[in-house]
Structure 1
Amino acid sequence: MLDGLIALVLAVPALIAMPMLETVESGDVETVPPLAMGLIGFTGFLFVLLMIYTIYLLSVKGQTLGKKMLGIRIVNNLDDSNAGFVRAFLLRGIVNAIPGAIIPFYGLIDVCFIFGAERRCIHDFIAGTRVIQG
């Protein structure tokens, strides 16, 4: 949830630009106010930076910014070693998104698994990971 809040804060420049885009009725890109284009471009740049930094953090430390704030990290379930890029990013994030795009309410089901005996979500089982303090 913290990561979503961080992304929302980064989206503020684009949210400011949206009303400016509504005033453009001709559909001609050249009539879009330069400030609106700048704000949207800046927001895109911020999101690219956030994505690169998040992939780095997940790969090296097993954390996102939100996990870092909470003092938790993702580790290999077998030996508590660094989960790395494949487990922390590809399997937990990308591979887990596939059923989420197909199965209704998959995201909710995934998160509800945290209440199971092992306190691991479906994405943790897919990746062979778990979240620990530290």
Structure 2
Amino acid sequence: MDINVDYSSYTLEELYSAAESINSEAYPDRAQEIHKFIKEKEAQLQTQPEVAPSSRVGTQASRIDRLFAVVVDGLINILASLPLIFYFGLDVFREPTLQVTLVSFLYGFLIFAVLHGYLLYKNGQTIGKYLLSIRIENVDGTKADWKKIAFLRLLPIMLIYQFSLGFIGPLIAGLINPLLIFGKSQRCLHDYIANTKVSYCAD
């Protein structure tokens, strides 16, 4: 018995499946109807606008986008550090004295505040994060306060790097800190310290 089927409610995948399974010789009209709906739905897909980036707002930033943001910030910070290097000379930093270490630490913190302070205060972003449309958030999805970012997220890692003995500082701050992003929660050590995450935001 021939049963009427409403193909208009089928998804494109269901229509593809129906087109493959139907006996077009036994049911030519039904096969023609299926192909008609396939063409209509394919045309609809072609005319649909692309998904707006804003649809990602609130979702956790991908590792690659966080990496690009860090690279941008790193290049900016290197350029900003050139005056200090020229002043002391590169040789001084191979075996820095306590004075050089303290000055470098204060200079780095000040430069970071000058370059990124406004964006951090307003949006929870560095320049790199601003360009990638991502921001630092609390784990509940609210924008992280600039004081939390500066004194819990940034300062501890800088202190570990500058004042830990031997290779311990670079190991923790330069290797362990970023490698933790490959964990399930995609958060670095400084995220765990500050109880933050990085998510997409509106442009």
**TM-score if structure 2 supplies the norm length?**
0.45
Which has the higher Rg, Structure 1 or Structure 2?
2
1:61 to 112, 118, 123: 123
| Unaligned runs of at least 5 residues, structure 2 | 1-70, 90-106
Match of 2:172 among 106, 111, 115: 106
Aligned position for 2:12: none
Counterpart CA distance in 2 for 1:110 and 1:8 is 19
Residue 117, structure 1, aligned to residue 180, structure 2? no
Asked if the contact 2:80/2:111 (under 8 Å) is kept, the reply is no
**What CA distance in whole angstroms lies between the structure 2 residues aligned with 1:48 and 1:56?**
13
> For 1:116 and 1:98, how far apart are their aligned partners in 2?
24
Supply the RMSD in Å over aligned alpha carbons: 2.7
Task: After TM superposition, give the deviation of residue 50 of structure 1 in Å.
Answer: 5.9
Q: 1:8 aligns with which of 78, 83, 98?
A: 78
Give the distance between the partners of 1:48 and 1:87, measured in 2 at CA: 16
Change (3 A) 1:118 1:85: same
Percent identity between matched residues is 36
Within a 5 Å distance, the mapping from 1:24-103 to structure 2 comes to 51-77=113-139, 79-100=140-161, 101-102=163-164, 103=168
Letter in 1 for 2:76: I
C-alpha distance in structure 2 between counterparts of 1:60 and 1:75, whole Å: 12
User: What amino acid is the match of 1:88?
Assistant: I
Distance 1:69 1:62 in 2: 13
Determine if contact 2:124/2:145 at 8 Å carries over to the other structure.
yes
Q: Unaligned stretches of 5+ in structure 1?
A: 22-43
Q: Is the 8 A contact 1:60 1:82 kept in 2?
A: no
CA contact (8 A) 1:72 1:132 kept: yes
C-alpha distance in 2 between matches for 1:80 and 1:62: 12
Instruction: Report what 1:133 is aligned to.
Output: 200
Give the conservation status (yes or no) of the 8 Å contact 1:59–1:83.
no
